[in-house]
Every structure is written in structure tokens, then in C-alpha cells.
Structure 1
Amino acid sequence: MIEPETDNPDILALLPRLGDDDAGVRRIALIELADLEDPEGLLWLIAALASDDAAEVRAEAARLLEAWEEPDVVQALCAALADGAEPVRLAAAQSLSELKSLEAGVLILPWVEHADAFVRASALRALRELRLEAAAAPALLALQDPEATVRREAVGILGWLKHDAALPALAQLASDDPDTEVRRAATGALGLASDAGVLPALYAALGDSAWQVREEAATTLGKIGLEEAGAALVQALADDYWQVRLRAARALGRLRYREAGAELAALLGHDIANLRKEAALALGDLGDSAALPALHAAEADGDPEVRKAVRIALAQLQEVA
């Protein structure tokens, strides 16, 4: 057991149980130690994470360290990503993803090059929302990683950073990556652009074999806000999956693409209530009075959420008039 380096009586009272032979006792003692929220207690938490014989104790220590940004804590959590027990690795990865400081990100950065794919992916995941500019270069390299989980997390970093230099590589992934989730993530990340240069990749994604990618492509086209994407989105209103149709309808509303009025009005008779609702809202956004007859007919829809959307759309059209 660690020699006492504290005069805190509450911590001293926990020491016998922190060194108990029973792993369950040690785990509960760690929880009570963390509840004290005393930085002096980090010594025992870090030691438990690094060297306790029981995986359940190490995992608990990893969970309890999530609220701390100290360098020793960050390094200990990074090291725990390579622990031999999966619960420990998962707990460490989750705690690292909760960190908020750029200083922590600097310490995590070297782990992006670790030999283990789980470590690489977890390090990238932890860096994602920190928006650390220094993470852009290793993330670009990680787009070529042999492991799909690593590539997905790298895409996330570049999207959060709005890294324009990554657009060609992201467009390539959106079209060619063998993993559905990587293609989907890359398609979404293309939304960081605001010019027509990414449209070919997004049009291709609208024809992807996986509906999840097509759905993401429709969403991203709406975010970019280029009216020239309207014709492709109108075609997506006929997709075999209603989820894709819904996102296409939403995107057309955002674009205010009036040429889609007839197709959107036809969706007011679809079996899926969520799709009818989205079509109604999109018709309101278009601001075209030609939609009034279809919307009035939909006022008697059997779903209250659809009726509410219809009322909103009619109010919008009245304002336009």
C-alpha cells in the first residue's frame, strides 16, 4: 500500500480499506475517497488504476478519475487504454472523452500513434471535442489507418476542426471506404464546406448502397445550403427508405427549393407520420401558396404531430401572402 502523504483524517481513515485483501472492499473505499474531492486522494486512485490486481477495481478507478484534468491523471488514463481487461480500457476511454482542457489534449496526442488500434481510436475520440489544432495533422494520417474505428474517429476530429485541407480526403472516404460508418461520418464531415466543390461526393453518397449514408448525404446537403442541390434531393424523396426521404424533405425546406412542392405535397399521404410531418414543415418553408390545397386536406390527419406541423406551415404561408 502507498505510504501516507496526507494529513487529511478522512483519507487516513480510508487507508486500511484501500489496502484490504478483498477487491470489493477496495473498490468501495475508492468511491468514498473520490467523494471527498480532495486532490491528495489522486495518488491512491492513480495507483489503483495502474496496479491493482482486480480489474473491477482498476475500472472503478478509471471511472472515478473522469473529473480530474491533472497531467498525472491524463497519463494514467492513457496508459490504461492498453490494459489487459476490456472493462478497464472502456472506462479509461470514457473518462478521457470527458476531458475539456487543451492541456489534456497535448498529453493525449502522442497516443494517437500507439500500436494498438483501440488506443489510437480512443485517443482520437478524446481529442475530438477539444478542437486542438495540433490534432489535425495526425488525424489526416489516421484517415489511412487500416482499422475502421480509427478512421471514424479521425473523421470526427477533422469535422469538428472544420479543417478545409481535409476535404479531398474526406470526399474520397465518403465514396470509397469499405466501412459504412466511415462513409457516413465522412459524408457528414463534408458539411464543413460551403462551396460546390463537395457536391459531386455528396451526390454520389445519395446513391450509396447503405441507406444510412444516403440519409447523411441528404442532411449534409441541407446544411451546406446550395440551391443547386435541390434536384438531387427531389430524387431522394423517392428513396426506398423513409428515413432518407425525411432528411431530403427537411433539406429541401431549408433550401426553400420551390420546384419540390409537388413531390413534398405527395408525401402528405405517406404511411409514416414522421415523414408526413416533415413534408408539411418543408412546404411551409417553401412559402409557395400552391401547397395550400394539399395542406388544407392534411388538416384532418390522424396524427396530432402532423396536424400541428400543418398548422405551422399554413401560418407561414399566410405570412407570405
Structure 2
Amino acid sequence: MTALSIQDGLSAQLMQRMTDADPEIRRIALMDLADSEDEDLIVPLLIEALQDVDANVRAEAAAALEGYESEAVVTALIGVLTDSDPQVGANAALSLGELKDASLGGVLLNALDASSGYAKAAIFRALKELKVAGSLEPALAAIADADADVRQAAVGVLGYLKDPRALASLSKVATQDADSEVRRIAVGALGFAPALAVVFPALADAMNDESWQVREEAVMTLGKLRAENAVPQLIAAMQDSYWQVRIKAARSLGRLRSRAALPALCEALVHPVSNLRKEAAVALGEVGDPAALPALEKALEDPDPDVRKLAKLAMTQIAR
């Protein structure tokens, strides 16, 4: 499409704003341009904007090119992966990842060495979407990166790849990383372990983590792994100072159908937080022990109608 035909398709005001001396006006003009549905009209302009002297304009263009699958777009985005401004490279990586084209994995991997910080983290997030097998070793190396955002993204890649070779490293990160969010993500990633024994020590440690979000993730992961030998720890988690952790512990105990958990689950039926009472009722129904019926009968008078409904359902399950 010629420059003249592009101009014909756009308002004179928008074209003027896209060449304004003020970079913020140019950036906002790109946002307005992206609202157009005419791909042939806007893509060449967005690609051109990737070369703007202002980093914020280039970053806006890279983000706006998300979802366009033409060869020209892919080539242009690859060209700015290692832009001097990390936000530009990050947006380009995320836009490429949205294409879900595994053949782009090699390009993204090559850009890792020349990237750092936010841009490097974005490349790992794109690699996670593509599930590129070759990203295993770079991700393992990146979990020692000084930037917590990079470590988070690298751990996310390892969790998606589900490669048992990463379990030892993930276990270490889950218990030793300085950043609580990195630890939480690593704990969740351990849920793909083919054998509980390999990751149980790390998950048991994580249940005592100073961060309640890490503890919450640990009790969820143990439930996913059907960790019957973790029942004592899960019962102990029913006394956690955060009700969010108690909810996930109740859910995991229900999955495990643990009769040993009946006292803790029945106690939770009268907790002040209604969401925990609901989860306890569901778990008692899954356990299926008639010993829970008296507590469930009392729950039929709960002020929350959802608790009453779930208690009745649990009683029906037990009666089967």
C-alpha cells in the first residue's frame, strides 16, 4: 500500500498526530490507529513506528502488533527484541508469543543472551506459551538471575515444560529463593512430579514458609499430588493463621478423603469465614464418613444459604 493510499484511508488529523513533534501525542495516535480494523492500512504504520526515536512510541507499536501474523510483522518484531529500551523488547517478545508459533522459539532463545531484566523475563514468558523444549537449559540457568522477575518467568517455563530434570532445581528455589512470589510459583510447578518422594521435603518445608501465599500453594500442590502421607501436615494447616490457607487445606483433605481430618473439617464448619465453612462442607461430603453427620446437621442452620446447600449435599453424599 502506498503512502498516498494510507493517507486517503486515515483522517488528516490522525496522520498529523502520528508525525507530531511531541512523542506522547504520537504514542496516543498509535493507540487510536490500533482501533482500526483495516490490517492493510495500519500494519505498515505500526511497523514504521517501531523505528521511532522515542522508546515509549516504539513500545506502544510493539504491543499494538500483537496478533498480526504476517511475515513483515514477525520480522519487524524480531528486529526490536534487543531494543536499547527493555520495554520495547518485552512488548515485542510478548506479541511474538501470542502468535503461538513454535518455530519462533529459536529466535526468542537467541535473543536471551542480549537481553536482561524486564525484556528477558518477557522472552521467557513467550517461551512458556510456546513450550519450546530448548528453553529448559536457559530457564534452569535463569533461576539464579539477580532479577526476581526473570526468575519468576524462568520458573514458569520449567513448570510448563514438566521435565523431571528440573525438579531438583525447582525444589531448591521453592524453599530458598529470596522472593516469596518466586518461591510460590516454584512450589506450584512441583505439582507435575511423577513421584511424590522427590518433592515432598520441599513441599513440607514450604508449608512452614513465612509467606501465606507460599503455604497456600504448598497445600494445593500436595492435594494435586494425592499426597496421602501429607495428611498430618494438611490437618495442621487447618489451624493456619490465614483462612485462605485453611480453605486450600480443606480442599486437599477432601481430595484425599481423609477420615483423620474429620475433627478439623467439622471445626471449620463454624469458622467465621463463610468460604471456609463452604469448603469444609464440600470436603466432608467427599470424605463420606457418617461421623460428620451431626456437624453437617448443625450446618443446615447456617446463616449463609450456600453453606446450608453444601451441607445438605454433603449429607446426601454420605448417605449413598
Q: Structure 1-normalised TM-score?
A: 0.87
Q: Which residue of 2 aligns with 1:178?
A: 178
Q: Which amino acid aligns with 2:6?
A: I
Q: Are residues 161 and 25 of structure 1, via their aligned partners in 2, closer, same or farther at CA, if it must alter by over 3 Å?
A: closer
CA contact 1:112–1:121 (8 Å) conserved in 2:
no
Using the TM superposition, give the Cα deviation of residue 112 of structure 1 relative to its aligned residue in structure 2, in angstroms: 2.2
Q: Deviations over 1:192-226 (max 9, x none)?
A: 11312211110010011111111000000001112
What is the alpha-carbon distance in structure 1 between the residues aligned to residue 241 and residue 54 of structure 2? 51
Using the TM superposition, give the Cα deviation of residue 74 of structure 1 relative to its aligned residue in structure 2, in angstroms: 3.8
Q: Which residue of 2 aligns with 1:119?
A: 119
> What aligned pairs does 1:128-207 form with structure 2 within 5 A after superposition?
128-196=128-196, 197-207=198-208
What is the alpha-carbon distance in structure 2 between the residues aligned to residue 33 and residue 241 of structure 1? 44
What is the alpha-carbon distance in structure 2 between the residues aligned to residue 43 and residue 264 of structure 1? 61
CA contact 2:81–2:111 (8 Å) conserved in 1:
no
What is the alpha-carbon distance in structure 2 between the residues aligned to residue 137 and residue 70 of structure 1? 30
Q: Which residue of 1 aligns with 2:19?
A: 21
CA contact 2:174–2:202 (8 Å) conserved in 1:
yes
Q: Are residues 140 and 277 of structure 1, via their aligned partners in 2, closer, same or farther at CA, if it must alter by over 3 Å?
A: same
Stretch deviating more after TM superposition (203-212 or 19-28): 19-28
Q: Indicate the SS of the match to 1:300.
A: coil
What is the alpha-carbon distance in structure 1 between the residues aligned to residue 63 and residue 249 of structure 2? 41
What is the alpha-carbon distance in structure 2 between the residues aligned to residue 250 and residue 122 of structure 1? 33
What is the alpha-carbon distance in structure 2 between the residues aligned to residue 124 and residue 295 of structure 1? 48
Q: Which amino acid aligns with 2:69?
A: E
Q: Which residue of 1 aligns with 2:273?
A: 272
Q: Which amino acid aligns with 2:219?
A: A
What is the alpha-carbon distance in structure 1 between the residues aligned to residue 43 and residue 248 of structure 2? 47
Q: Which runs of 5+ in 1 are unaligned?
A: 1-5
Using the TM superposition, give the Cα deviation of residue 12 of structure 1 relative to its aligned residue in structure 2, in angstroms: 5.1
Q: How many residues align?
A: 312
What is the alpha-carbon distance in structure 2 between the residues aligned to residue 222 and residue 25 of structure 1? 51
Q: Which amino acid aligns with 2:223?
A: G
Q: Are residues 247 and 8 of structure 1, via their aligned partners in 2, closer, same or farther at CA, if it must alter by over 3 Å?
A: same
Using the TM superposition, give the Cα deviation of residue 303 of structure 1 relative to its aligned residue in structure 2, in angstroms: 1.3
Percentage of identical aligned residues: 45
Q: Which residue of 2 aligns with 1:225?
A: 226
What is the alpha-carbon distance in structure 2 between the residues aligned to residue 235 and residue 224 of structure 1? 18
What is the alpha-carbon distance in structure 2 between the residues aligned to residue 8 and residue 33 of structure 1? 19
Question: Does residue 35 of the first structure (1) align with residue 37 of the second (2)?
Answer: yes
CA contact 1:27–1:56 (8 Å) conserved in 2:
no
Stretch deviating more after TM superposition (303-312 or 180-189): 303-312
CA contact 1:284–1:312 (8 Å) conserved in 2:
yes
Q: Are residues 253 and 10 of structure 1, via their aligned partners in 2, closer, same or farther at CA, if it must alter by over 3 Å?
A: farther
Q: CA RMSD in A?
A: 2.7
CA contact 2:296–2:315 (8 Å) conserved in 1:
yes
Question: Does residue 211 of the first structure (1) align with residue 212 of the second (2)?
Answer: yes
Q: Deviations over 1:99-134 (max 9, x none)?
A: 311123332121222342222111001111211112
Stretch deviating more after TM superposition (262-271 or 57-66): 57-66
Stretch deviating more after TM superposition (69-78 or 302-311): 69-78
Q: Deviations over 1:289-315 (max 9, x none)?
A: 111110110011111222222122122
Question: Does residue 11 of the first structure (1) align with residue 23 of the second (2)?
Answer: no
> What aligned pairs does 1:238-257 form with structure 2 within 5 A after superposition?
238-257=239-258
CA contact 1:34–1:64 (8 Å) conserved in 2:
no
Stretch deviating more after TM superposition (51-60 or 19-28): 19-28
Q: Which amino acid aligns with 1:134?
A: G
Q: Are residues 33 and 234 of structure 1, via their aligned partners in 2, closer, same or farther at CA, if it must alter by over 3 Å?
A: closer
Q: Which amino acid aligns with 2:146?
A: P
What is the alpha-carbon distance in structure 1 between the residues aligned to residue 314 and residue 261 of structure 2? 15
Question: Does residue 306 of the first structure (1) align with residue 307 of the second (2)?
Answer: yes
CA contact 1:18–1:26 (8 Å) conserved in 2:
no
